[in-house]
Amino acid sequence: MVLRNALMDIRKMFMEKNSGLDIAVEFGPSGVLSRNIEKGQAVDLFISAGQKEIDRLADKGFILPDSRKSLVGNQMVVMLKKGLTMNYLADLTTDQFRNIVLPFPDKAPSGRYAKEMLIRLGLWDVLTEKQYFVDDVKQVVEAVAGGEADAGFAWYADIQATPGLDYYRIPQAAYEPVMVTAALPLYAEKNISAKKFLEYIASEEGIITLEKYGFTRPEQGQGAKRPHILWKFLTPSYEDDFVNALL
């Protein structure tokens, strides 16, 4: 949602500097777009909300070598329905949270990151009956803001774009680093304009624009790799189980 707005601003600035050039854009969940590339869709530049979609394409030979760029980091939050609060992720198991929404893990990086984190913390199975799924973060924000869901997993940048929303900011050590990542598919091998646009997005001007929308520079958004202290983010009743699961 917010990434779309930031990239459209960058697109506009780039086109103003390169008169006569037009850039057609298609937006959608990163997982869906990456699978379209695998199916042969003609794409000159792919920008994913998470790095694993790029990893998968690269492993299968769909990405030009050395073209990928880690642009900015993002952070995970639990968006809260008005009037609800939480201090630990395990608070989601309490009765005040009856409906928890997240994007389909196979469609959107936000859903995949949330699922992987909850599995690691031993909370995924506990919360199964409370969960329901939507296509993307935009629908998560709409569901929680509209009172349909009590809580939902979203990106910090998306929360920042919607003033007045309550949220719990998940400690970065609780999940894998999140990086908005871009790369050139094989189709763009001879497309000089696509390469120039990617360089512009990754330039200081492009990164500053992304920061204005709540994203962080890579060194700020990569998360702390300290899994041995993750138990601090859970309530005492979950500490022993989680520490044992890590050993």
Helix (H, G, I), strand (E, B) or coil at 27: coil
Domain definitions of the chain by residue range: 2-73+179-216, 76-175+226-246
- Contact call for residues 58 and 68 (beta carbons, < 8 A): yes
SS3 per residue for 100-149: EEEECCCCCHHHHHHHHHHHHCCCCCCCHHHEEEECCHHHHHHHHHCCCC
Query: Pick from 71, 78, 79: which is nearest to 213 by CA?
Result: 71
- What CATH homologous superfamily does 2-73+179-216 map to? Periplasmic binding protein-like II (3.40.190.10)
Whether the per-residue pLDDT at 97 is higher than 90: the answer is: yes
Q: Which residues pair with 47 in a beta bridge?
A: 182
Structure tokens that stand for 223 in this block: 């998360």
The predicted pLDDT at position 119 comes to 96
Which residue numbers belong to the known binding site for molybdate? 30, 137
pLDDT number for residue 221: 43
Its CATH class, for the domain covering 76-175+226-246, is alpha beta
The answer on pLDDT for 206 being more than 50 is yes
Least confident of 14-28, 74-88, 190-204: 14-28
- Percent share of the chain, pLDDT over 70: 88
Domains 2-73+179-216 and 76-175+226-246 share a fold: yes
Sorting pLDDT into bands at 50, 70 and 90, what band is 242? very low
Distance CA 125, CA 118 (A): 8
Q: Give the residue numbers of the binding site.
A: 30, 137
Q: What is the pLDDT of residue 217?
A: 87
pLDDT at 230: 37
CA of 190: how far to CAs of 47, 61, 117, 186, in Å?
Answer: 18, 17, 40, 9
pLDDT in tens, 101-153: 999 999 888 999 999 999 999 999 999 999 999 999 989 999 999 999 999 99
Dist CA 77 CA 59 (whole Å): 30
User: What dihedral do alpha carbons 175, 79, 52, 133 form, nearest 10°?
Assistant: 120
* pLDDT value of residue 219: 62
